[in-house]
Amino acid sequence: MLDRIEKIIKESGSFFAGLLLSAMTVVVFLQVVFRFVIKGSLPWSEELARYLMVWATFIGAGLAAANNAHIGVEFFVKLFGPRASKLFLTLTYLVVMATSLVLVNYSWVIVNYQIKTGQVSPAMAIPMVIPYLALPVGIIYMAICFTLAYCRNIKNF
């Protein structure tokens, strides 16, 4: 059951990250074509590419968590035996999940501020809450991935 959930989480993250990066590539390509071939400009393209990159980064952070690809200091972990290493990894997952809860809380504060102020982006005139939603969505996705990794680690303990 855990493997099935983990597979769905990984595949959905990969799909959305790929979609966001593909869209960003198309937008940047169009901007280059318009600027150098047509001698015009797409005023919204730079802004859209930036927001797509922000979303892709936060989804990618969760995807890195799902694939156990986050940077870690393995020097200290390798000093101890396998049982102590698993315990250390378990504690690391708990700290990351607790940190994620704090970050989600503060990111919702930022999102709520954007909702209250009604700020819009300069070029596309979209509500700024859309780019700022990448914070809580990405952090929640990352927390889910670390929680699944924690469960897998506990199961194999």
> pLDDT tens for residues 114-153?
999 999 999 999 999 999 999 999 999 999 999 999 998 8
What's the pTM?
0.89
- Provide the residue range defining the domain that includes 104: 2-155
Tokens (6 digits) for 144: 């889910």
130 token code pair: 């859309």
Rounded to whole angstroms, the Cα distance separating 3 from 76 reads 29
Q: What are the angstrom distances between the C-alpha of 14 and each of 2, 54, 135?
A: 18, 15, 18
Instruction: Assign 68 a pLDDT band (cuts: 50, 70, 90).
Output: confident
DSSP 38: S
* High-pLDDT (> 70) share of the chain, %: 99
Q: How far apart are CA 42 and CA 113, in angstroms?
A: 29
Which among 127, 140, 134, 63 has a CA at the least distance from the CA of 97? Answer: 140
Number of domains comprising the chain:
1
Reported as a pLDDT band with limits 50, 70 and 90, residue 71 is: confident
